[in-house]
Amino acid sequence: MRATRLKVTMSTPHDDPVDQRGKLDEQPFDYQITKDNRVLLFWQEKHIKTLAGTEARKFIDKIETLDEAEAQLLLAKVTGNFKRGNERRD
């Protein structure tokens, strides 16, 4: 079973009032679309969330229309508040 994995990268820095500290410039988010149209979301190469069904279809339709900076912002919003300060730093 082979899934499509797309790396979202930014080609140029931008002035985004939402990302004032520039954390999204580091391209921390990534996603993978599986054969069964589930979407696996990654943060710094770690799987953090899976989207399925209607939510996955909406995500796929939306992210295909965005540029790289907007895609990073969408990924950040979709993952929500997953960090609680207890993540391991490898």
Structure tokens at 87: 């993540």
- Provide the residue type at 74 as one letter: L
Q: Quick one: which of 42, 38, 39 has its CA closest to 7? A: 42
For residues 89 and 80, the model is more confident at 80
* Distance separating alpha carbons of residues 24 and 36, to the nearest angstrom: 29
Instruction: Express each pLDDT in 25-78 by its tens digit.
Output: 778 899 999 999 999 999 999 999 999 999 999 999 999 999 988 999 899 889
